[in-house]
Amino acid sequence: MSLTPDLLDEIELLNLFDLNTTQGGLKVHHDAGEQKIAAAKRLFDKGMTTQDDGGYLTDRGVETAEHVQLLVGMLQADS
């Protein structure tokens, strides 16, 4: 499995969520760029967010974002 640009856009969005609070959502504005808007829609379609333009993480989204943020942190640890 390769990391496609679509997958990387989804990972980038998941990495932006603040996992320290359930009150922290994201809003992907209409001028954010087609790739980010499409990534937000795909995350919603996969059941990871509550809105197709971001919103809050679902339980599945929280679990996925935790893994994403852990991986990104591990890869950046030696930078």
20-63 pLDDT per residue, tens: 987 889 999 988 899 999 999 999 999 999 999 999 999 999 99
Q: In 3D, which of 75, 73, 74, 56 has the Cα closest to residue 13?
A: 56
Tokens of 63: 């679990």
DSSP state, residue 4: -
Identify the residue whose tokens are 């935790």: 66
Are the beta carbons of 79 and 49 closer than 8 angstroms?
no
pTM summary value: 0.91
Classify 32 as helix, strand or coil: coil
CB atoms within 10 A of CB 61: 20
pLDDT > 70? residue 79 = no
Of residues 24 and 11, which shows the higher confidence score? 11
